[in-house]
């Protein structure tokens, strides 16, 4: 994909739809494109993390390690952002992310990420919405797990 194609691609992701193309060019330029094969790991739960990932193409599974092995708690698709918790909170990776089939991501480093969200409140709002939605799903899973444990 050329830089121009990548900018076009980013513009079609809801997260970036309101961002000026010149800025998207800088984002694409400052970020690293990574390709993964089926089952390859983006990062492991417990790793240190200094970057977030935008799913450009393909799917990935979010896995939580338990004593009985990994449990898939979410499935990521094109346009989703993942890995921002570790950079927002300065904590190790809270889950493992694994490619499901061929996957391409844009790796956005910590400083680029903060530059983006402070310069574009709309991106900040979208990421807030995404975090809130994920929190809501996790709360539902927790309720479910607590109910099953009790019954």
Contact flag: residue 142 with a copy of itself (CB under 8 A): yes
CB 59 within 8 A of CB 28: no
Contact flag: residue 35 with a copy of itself (CB under 8 A): no
CB 83 within 8 A of CB 60: no
Contact flag: residue 84 with a copy of itself (CB under 8 A): yes
Q: Which of 2, 22, 37, 151 binds a copy of itself (CB under 8 A)?
A: 151
Q: Which of 9, 120 has the CB closer to a copy of itself? A: 120
Residue bearing tokens 């898939």: 72
How many whole angstroms separate alpha carbon 105 and alpha carbon 98?
12
Q: Which of 8, 11, 85, 100 binds a copy of itself (CB under 8 A)?
A: 85
How many whole angstroms separate alpha carbon 1 and alpha carbon 43?
24
Contact flag: residue 12 with a copy of itself (CB under 8 A): no
Q: Which of 65, 72, 77, 102 binds a copy of itself (CB under 8 A)?
A: 65
CB 67 within 8 A of CB 104: no
What tokens does 85 get?
Answer: 């918790």
How many whole angstroms separate alpha carbon 23 and alpha carbon 58?
25
Binding residues with a copy of itself: total (CB under 8 A):
44
Contact set with a copy of itself (CB under 8 A): 64-68, 71, 73, 84-85, 88-89, 91, 94-95, 114, 117-119, 121-122, 124-125, 127-129, 131-136, 138-143, 145-151
């Amino acid at each position: 994909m050329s830089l121009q194609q990548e900018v076009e691609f980013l513009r079609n992701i809801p997260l970036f739809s309101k961002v000026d193309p010149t800025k998207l060019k800088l984002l694409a330029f400052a970020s690293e494109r990574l390709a993964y094969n089926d089952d390859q790991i983006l990062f492991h739960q417990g790793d240190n993390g200094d970057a977030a990932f935008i799913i450009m193409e393909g799917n990935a599974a979010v896995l939580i390690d338990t004593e009985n092995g990994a449990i898939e708690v979410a499935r990521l698709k094109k346009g989703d952002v993942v890995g921002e918790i570790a950079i927002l909170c300065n904590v190790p990776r809270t889950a493992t992310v694994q490619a499901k089939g061929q996957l391409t991501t844009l790796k956005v480093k910590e400083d680029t990420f903060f530059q983006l969200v402070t310069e574009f409140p709309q991106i900040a709002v979208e990421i807030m919405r995404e975090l809130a939605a994920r929190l809501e799903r996790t709360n539902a899973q927790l309720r479910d797990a607590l109910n099953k444990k009790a019954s």
